[in-house]
């Protein structure tokens, strides 16, 4: 169905580039319009779990992906005060097949961009889409400072502030979730020795995640704190390492030592929408954050965007466009909604403020981790074991 079909994708993020490649591999003629003048993003890490790796493998990018990523052996939940283990999720069962990887976002974008260009995708930078008009007969896009563009099929992969989302869902502005995230990279491993695990330190009203990148040459830090409001004009700003160090001064020495090495940090207000009621309309569809931004507390936003990208391309390749768009929303909305609800629940579970409640919850998790470690991991199978390329 897609051979020779013209498709325009708005946004060259992980979802947009993944979808461009999946469509081009099925014969479509794909253009990607990206507002930024250059591709690539400020340095930060990403966890790509086995469900996302399944899509990247199916796109033929597995080799480059594994070369750029660090394969995680386990995820450790730790108490913030002494760094005492609370729960360990051993990821060994995924490592033979799919792997659970930590990557620099810029590295993943580069791999996707190269794959898309090799498959014939045209990526045009400096193209900020400002308006959308049209219906089944074709979609017209307004582009800042340029002539309008038209396309028979447009995919909105334009993230949280999606123009396409507003076209399909006229009401609903992004709301502040009451959480901010600092993101920083420091040179070298955490502690003295390089290892391959995700560490998540849980404290009252805040948590901090670390993992290695680029073979341990860098350590990625995401530090989240609850706040009443976001006062900055933009949704991200330059942060102050001294403020970060002060906010987390009650965390254990290994965290304080790591934060003492932070020289530059960015601060993000975590905003989101509710899951969009309409993901598709005549001649257009939404994928990734444009349809369903999530809190990053399960590290699933980019993974879901990759799943969407694959499923949309799969539907469009096998059905007439109207039916394909309906089928796409049907196959994706329930799963995205469920993952986002689980990420929201983690916001509460990680940040327990009541000391008695926190001690009790950690005791239960510790016992589960010691007595039934396999069962603990099985609870995440519905997320990590999901393979959209085989469903
Ligand atoms: C602190 C933090 C940590 C995270 N960690 C993880 C993690 O470990 N694992 C994970 O899976 N997810 C993680 N996420 C979530 C993940 O970053 C996002 O869910 C993911 O990037 C969404 O991809 P996307 O392609 O839908 O949108 P985006 O990555 O937002 O890409 C959208 C693209 O569209 C472009 N664009 C926007 N508007 C326009 C326009 N009008 N015209 C043209 N171009 C436009 C943008 O410039 C951008 O290139 C994290 C998020 C945060 C905030």
For 4-44, the pLDDT digits (tens) are 889 999 999 999 999 999 999 999 999 999 999 988 766 68
Provide mean pLDDT across the span 317-346.
Answer: 95
Q: Is the beta carbon of 128 within 6 A of some atom in ligand 1?
A: yes
CA atoms within 13 A on the CB side of 19: 36
Q: What angle do CA 353, 358, 362 make, to 5 degrees?
A: 150
Contact 72, 100 (CB under 8 A): yes
Q: What is the pLDDT of residue 376?
A: 79
- pLDDT category, 73, cuts 50, 70, 90? very high
pLDDT tens per residue across span 274-306: 999 999 999 999 999 999 999 999 999 999 999
Atom of ligand 1 nearest to the CA of 288: 26
CB-based burial label for 43 (10 Å; 0-12, 13-18, 19+):
middle
What's residue 254's pLDDT?
94
- The stretch 194-209 carries a mean pLDDT of 93
The best mutation among 17, 40, 139, 296 to test binding of ligand 1, ranked by most ligand atoms within 8 Å of the C-beta, falls on 296
Ligand 1 center–CA 355 separation, angstroms: 35
Q: Estimate to the nearest angstrom the gap between the alpha carbon of 33 and the chain centroid.
A: 20
Q: What are phi and psi of 89, to 5 degrees?
A: -105, 110
pLDDT of residue 172: 77
pLDDT grade, residue 128 (50/70/90)?
very high
Q: Atom 20 (ligand 1): residue with closest C-alpha?
A: 302
Vertex 320: Cα angle to 318 and 326 (nearest 5) = 90
- Specify the pTM: 0.95
Report the 3 state secondary structure along 214-280: HHHCEEEEEEEEECCCCCCCCCEEEECHHHHHHHCCCCCHHHHHHHHCCCCEEEEEEEECCCCCCCE
Count CB neighbours of 27 within 10 A. Answer: 13
Q: Ligand 1, from 145, 158, 209: best to mutate by most atoms within 8 Å of Cβ?
A: 158
Cβ(35) – ligand 1 distance below 6 Å: yes
Q: Is the CB of 106 under 6 A from ligand 1?
A: no
Mean pLDDT of 379-390: 92
Segment holding 76, helix H or strand E = strand 74-79
361 C-alpha to ligand 1 centroid (Å): 32
126-149 average pLDDT score:
89
Query: Is the minimum distance from the CB of 101 to ligand 1 under 6 angstroms?
Result: no
pLDDT at 22: 98
User: What is the rounded (10 degree) CA torsion for 32, 35, 41, 45?
Assistant: -60
What's the gap in Å between 42 CA and the centre of ligand 1? Answer: 12
Q: Is the CB of 50 under 6 A from ligand 1?
A: no
Q: Are 266 and 237 in contact (CB under 8 A)?
A: yes
Residue 211 among the catalytic residues? yes
Residues contacting residue 208 through CB under 8 Å, at least 6 positions apart: 80, 200, 201, 221, 222, 223, 224, 248, 251, 255
pLDDT at residue 41 in the model:
62
CA 353–ligand 1 middle distance (angstroms) = 30
Of the listed 94, 201, 211, 384, which one is catalytic? 211
How far is residue 155 from each of residues 91, 143, 284, 303, measured CA to CA in Å? 34, 15, 6, 18
Residue 218 and residue 211: Cα distance in Å, rounded? 9
pLDDT band of residue 378 (cuts 50, 70, 90) is confident
Does the pLDDT of residue 135 top 80, yes or no? no
Q: How confident is the model at residue 262 (pLDDT cuts 50, 70, 90)?
A: very high
For residue 207, the SS3 value is strand
Sheet holding 149-151, edge to edge: 129-135, 138-143, 149-151
Neighbours of 7 (CB within 10 A): 24
Q: Is the distance from the beta carbon of residue 268 to the nearest atom of ligand 1 less than 6 Å?
A: yes
Shortest CA distance to 154 belongs to which of 131, 170, 174?
Answer: 131
pLDDT for the residue 98: 84
The residue among 165 and 346 whose pLDDT is bigger is 165
- Closest CA to ligand 1's atom 29: 13
Rounded CA separation 49/30 (Å): 27
Q: 159: Cβ below 6 Å to ligand 1?
A: yes
Average pLDDT along the chain: 92
**Does pLDDT of 372 surpass 90?**
no
199 Cα–ligand 1 center, Å: 23
CA of 293 to the centre of ligand 1 (A): 9
CB of residue 280 inside a 6 A radius of ligand 1: no
Percent pLDDT > 90 in the chain is: 72
Q: Assign 231 a pLDDT band (cuts: 50, 70, 90).
A: low
- Return the SS3 of 60: coil
What is the Å distance from ligand 1's center to 11 Cα? 9
pLDDT above 90 (res 246): yes
């Amino acid at each position: 169905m897609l051979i020779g079909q013209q498709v325009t994708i708005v946004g060259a993020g992980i979802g947009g580039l993944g979808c461009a490649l999946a469509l081009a591999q099925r014969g479509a003629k794909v253009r990607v319009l990206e507002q930024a003048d250059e591709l690539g993003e400020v340095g930060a890490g990403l966890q790509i779990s086995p469900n996302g790796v399944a899509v990247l493998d199916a796109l033929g990018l597995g080799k480059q992906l594994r070369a750029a990523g660090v394969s995680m052996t386990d995820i450790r939940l730790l108490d913030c005060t002494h760094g005492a283990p609370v729960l360990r999720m051993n990821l060994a069962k995924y490592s033979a097949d799919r792997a659970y990887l930590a990557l620099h976002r810029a590295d993943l974008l580069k791999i996707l961009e190269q794959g898309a260009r090799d498959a014939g995708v045209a990526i045009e930078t400096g193209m900020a889409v400002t308006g959308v008009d049209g219906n089944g007969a074709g979609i017209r896009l307004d582009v800042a400072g340029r002539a309008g563009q038209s396309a028979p099929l447009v995919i909105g992969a334009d993230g949280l502030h999606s123009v396409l989302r507003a076209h399909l869902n006229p009401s609903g502005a992004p709301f502040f979730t009451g959480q901010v995230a600092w993101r920083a990279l420091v040179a070298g491993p955490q502690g003295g020795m390089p290892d391959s695990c995700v560490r998540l330190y849980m404290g009252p009203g805040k948590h901090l995640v670390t993992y290695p990148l680029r073979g341990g040459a860098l350590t990625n830090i995401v530090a989240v704190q609850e706040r009443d409001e976001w006062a900055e004009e933009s949704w991200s700003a330059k942060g102050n390492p001294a403020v970060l160090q002060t906010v987390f001064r009650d965390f254990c020495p290994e965290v304080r030592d790591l934060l003492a090495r932070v020289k530059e940090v960015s601060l993000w207000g975590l905003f989101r929408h509710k899951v969009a009621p309409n993901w598709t309309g005549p001649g257009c569809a939404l994928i990734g954050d444009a349809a369903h931004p999530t809190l990053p507390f399960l590290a699933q936003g980019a993974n879901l965007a990759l799943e969407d990208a694959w499923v949309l391309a799969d539907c469009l390749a096998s059905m007439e466009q109207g039916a394909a768009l309906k089928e796409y929303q049907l196959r994706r909305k329930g799963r995205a909604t469920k993952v986002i609800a689980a990420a929201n629940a983690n916001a509460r579970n990680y940040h327990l403020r009541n000391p008695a409640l926190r001690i009790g919850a950690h005791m239960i998790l510790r016992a589960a981790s010691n007595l039934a470690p396999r069962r603990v991991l099985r609870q995440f199978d519905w997320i990590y074991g999901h393979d959209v390329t085989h469903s």
